[in-house]
C-alpha cells in the first residue's frame, strides 16, 4: 500500500474511533452500550492492526470486543435477577 493510502485509512479509522467513543458515552441503555462497546473495541483493534501492532490488535479484539461486553451483559442480567427477587420478596411481605 502506498503511504497516502495508509494515511487516508488511518485518518478514517481515527475519526471512526472518535465517533464510536462518543456513541459509547452517549448511549444510556446498558445493554445497548455493551453492543456499542463491542463495536468500539473492534474499531480499536482494526486501528492497532493498521498501526502495525498485530499482537495488541488481537488482544484488543479479544478483550474489548468479546470479554468486556460479555461481562457487562452478564452483570446486567444478574442485577435484573436481583431486582426481580427483591420485588418478589417485597410483594410477599405486603401480602402477609
Domain that holds residue 61: 3-95
Give pTM, 2 decimals: 0.79
Helices 68-95, 30-50: axis angle to 10 degrees equals 170
Sign of the dihedral defined by the CA atoms of residues 7, 15, 13, 67, in that order: positive
Average pLDDT of 76-88?
93
Indicate the SS3 state at residue 83.
helix
pLDDT digits 0-9 by tens, 7-62:
999 999 999 999 999 999 999 998 899 999 999 999 999 999 999 999 999 999 99
Counted domains in the chain: 1
Amino acid at each position: 500500500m502506498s503511504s497516502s493510502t495508509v494515511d487516508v485509512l488511518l485518518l478514517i479509522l481515527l475519526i471512526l474511533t472518535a465517533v464510536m467513543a462518543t456513541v459509547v458515552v452517549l448511549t444510556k441503555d446498558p445493554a445497548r452500550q455493551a453492543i456499542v462497546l463491542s463495536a468500539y473495541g473492534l474499531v480499536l483493534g482494526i486501528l492497532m492492526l493498521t498501526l502495525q501492532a498485530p499482537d495488541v490488535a488481537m488482544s484488543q479484539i479479544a478483550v474489548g470486543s468479546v470479554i468486556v461486553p460479555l461481562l457487562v451483559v452478564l452483570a446486567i442480567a444478574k442485577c435484573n435477577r436481583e431486582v426481580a427477587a427483591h420485588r418478589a420478596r417485597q410483594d410477599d411481605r405486603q401480602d402477609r
